[in-house]
């Protein structure tokens, strides 16, 4: 897996550029990775609703759950579907809108310095082997491209926004990820 540092994009994957991005305060400060989970509607997989949300194209009349998403503007750098398919929505040198109100090691506004990776999933189900395989490939590529990133600078959304967020949740296997990265 190769990341073009000039464009901030992973080569040879699907790119769907989200309008929900802006400039990082310091484009060279990419020093953390935040892992999330997402499913729309909750616990349902395999459709295009996540893409539609990140692209501001979600028809909020299609499901009652979507009513609370009207006007929401969010994005993530990457989405890893349950099949292992990888989609990029925001170049890495730009700020994705994935963390919201957050704090990590005394630094607020985690969107400013982190890469957001969404796993298609929920708090109540295991993630797939393919997702872990692709996640490891992505993390290694990110660490090879951005010198401030290390495998010790990976955290869950639940850790930077405690009480507000619960993802990636209890079924994300941190020990497995650590072993796969070593």
What CATH number does residue 123 fall under? 3.40.80.10
Which tokens go with 22? 């802006």
Give the separation between CA 39 and CA 118, rounded to whole angstroms.
Answer: 10
What pLDDT, on the 0 to 100 scale, is given for residue 147?
92
Alpha-carbon distance of 93 to 26, in angstroms, equals 9
What per-residue confidence (pLDDT) applies to 39? 98
Q: How far apart are CA 181 and CA 135, in angstroms?
A: 10
Residues with Cβ within 8 Å of residue 18, at least 6 apart in sequence? 54, 55, 56, 75, 89, 90, 96
pLDDT of residue 44: 97
Predicted TM-score (pTM) above 0.85 = yes
Work out whether strand 114-120 and strand 78-80 pair parallel, antiparallel, or are unpaired: parallel
Per residue in 63-119, pLDDT (tens digit) is 999 999 999 999 999 999 999 999 999 999 999 999 999 999 999 999 999 999 999
CA–chain centroid gap for 16, Å, is 14
* pLDDT at residue 19, as a whole number: 98
pLDDT at 105: 93
39 contacts 168 by C-beta, under 8 angstroms = no
67 belongs to the catalytic site: no
> Which tokens hold the place of 62?
């299609």
Q: Which domain holds residue 24?
A: 3-181
Catalytic residue among 67, 118, 120, 158: 118
20 touches 56 (CB < 8 A): yes
Q: Tens digits of per-residue pLDDT, 147-182? A: 999 999 999 999 999 999 999 999 999 999 999 999
Give how many domains the chain has, as a whole number.
1
Nearest to 37 by CA among 165, 164, 151, 161: 165
pLDDT, tens digit, 9 for 90 and up, residues 32-45: 999 999 999 999 99
Q: Which of 74, 77, 100 is nearest to 90 (CA)?
A: 77
Instruction: State phi, psi for 73 to the nearest 5 degrees.
Output: -120, 100
């Amino acid at each position: 897996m190769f990341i073009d540092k000039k464009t901030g994009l992973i080569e040879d994957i699907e790119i769907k550029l989200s309008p929900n991005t802006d400039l990082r305060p310091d484009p060279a400060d990419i020093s953390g990775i935040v892992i999330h989970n997402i499913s729309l509607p909750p616990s349902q997989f395999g459709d295009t609703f996540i893409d539609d949300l990140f692209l501001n194209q979600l028809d909020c009349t299609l499901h009652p759950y979507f009513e609370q998403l009207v006007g929401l503007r969010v994005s993530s750098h990457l989405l890893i579907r349950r099949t292992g398919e990888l989609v990029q929505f925001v170049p890495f040198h730009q700020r994705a809108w994935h963390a919201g109100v957050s704090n990590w090691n005394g630094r607020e506004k985690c969107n400013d310095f982190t890469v957001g990776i969404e796993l298609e999933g929920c708090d109540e189900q295991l993630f797939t082997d393919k997702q872990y395989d692709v996640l490891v490939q992505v993390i290694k590529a990110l660490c090879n491209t951005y010198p401030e990133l290390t495998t010790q600078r990976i955290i869950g959304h639940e850790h930077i926004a405690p009480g507000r967020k619960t993802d990636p949740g209890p079924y994300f296997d941190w020990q497995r990820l650590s072993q796969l990265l070593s």
